[in-house]
């Protein structure tokens, strides 16, 4: 009888041990952490407005632009994720741009007279330094960003009869920006991005238009950007 009891106990222990061996212990899935340095490339499309006014005495003349075009460049930054999933960061970017509008009529706003001269404006590059604040939702991070914008604008006034240049000047303009976007960590290192940004580059006064007058141009742009970055 004792032998039977011992054999039964050993058999039960063996079965229990085999079942325990079949149990797979699953490790908890790690939540993505956004802290770190990253560098990336981006491309996008921009549109905006750039009113130009030339004042001399009691008359005002000028041209109204709505420049648009493509841009592309690079960005880099650093993010720090806090314990409450808020992500703080700083970022800078620089872009080559072809945001322009050519052949705009030059108008006397006092009487509506349209001059034969054609006005041209083009932003050739721009950049920004921004602060970012986001909220980590595992591998998704929606964010807001804002900071300082800068870029080069070239303005030309041409005589269409012979293509000669009446006035040509370029200047670096500085202003501010605000935007929103979302980052997605496709892998632990590759981060995809989609963003909207509004930039106000302020105004610039050009001296010596037609040899005697001063002109002022303002520039504001909207743009949509897509990017991909590598996080270290």
- Please report whether residue 180 resides in a domain: yes
**pLDDT value at 193 more than 70:** yes
- Please report whether residue 3 resides in a domain: no
Q: 62-119 pLDDT, tens per residue?
A: 777 788 999 999 999 999 999 999 999 999 999 999 999 876 766 766 666 666 567 7
User: CA–CA separation, 186 vs 116, rounded Å?
Assistant: 54
**pLDDT value at 202 more than 90:** yes
Q: 5-49 pLDDT, tens per residue?
A: 555 554 555 555 555 445 555 666 678 999 999 999 999 999 998
User: CA–CA separation, 170 vs 151, rounded Å?
Assistant: 10
What is the percent of the chain with per-residue pLDDT over 70, rounded to a whole number?
Answer: 76
- Please report whether residue 173 resides in a domain: yes
- Please report whether residue 40 resides in a domain: yes
Q: What pLDDT is stored for residue 42 in this prediction?
A: 99
Q: 120-152 pLDDT, tens per residue?
A: 888 999 999 999 999 999 999 999 999 999 999
Q: Which domain holds residue 132?
A: 36-231
Integer CA distances (angstroms), 229 to 42, 92, 106, 195, in order: 9, 13, 43, 13
- Please report whether residue 114 resides in a domain: yes
Q: What is the CATH number of the domain that holds 154?
A: 2.40.160.20
C-alpha 158, offset from chain centre: 33
Task: Quote the number of domains for the chain.
Answer: 1
């Amino acid at each position: 009888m004792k032998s039977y009891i011992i054999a039964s106990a050993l058999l039960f222990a063996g079965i229990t041990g085999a079942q325990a061996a079949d149990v797979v212990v699953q490790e908890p899935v790690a939540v993505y952490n956004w802290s770190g340095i990253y560098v990336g490339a981006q491309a996008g499309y921009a549109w905006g407005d750039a009113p130009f006014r030339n004042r001399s005495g009691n008359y005002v003349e000028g041209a109204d632009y709505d420049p648009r075009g493509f841009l592309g460049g690079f960005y880099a930054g650093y993010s720090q994720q806090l314990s409450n999933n808020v992500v703080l960061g700083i970022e800078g970017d620089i872009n080559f741009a072809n945001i322009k509008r050519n052949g705009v009529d030059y108008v006397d706003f006092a009487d509506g007279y349209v001059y034969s001269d054609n006005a041209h404006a083009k932003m050739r590059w721009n950049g920004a330094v921004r602060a970012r604040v986001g909220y980590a939702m595992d591998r998704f991070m929606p964010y807001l960003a804002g900071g300082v914008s800068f870029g080069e604008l070239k303005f030309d006034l041409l005589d269409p009869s012979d293509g000669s240049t009446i006035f040509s000047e370029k200047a670096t303009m500085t202003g501010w920006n605000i935007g929103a976007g979302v980052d997605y960590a496709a892998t632990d290192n590759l981060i995809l991005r989609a963003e909207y940004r509004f930039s106000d580059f302020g105004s610039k006064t050009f001296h010596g238009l037609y040899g005697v007058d001063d002109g002022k141009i303002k520039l504001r742009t909207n743009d949509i950007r897509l990017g991909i970055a590598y996080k270290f």
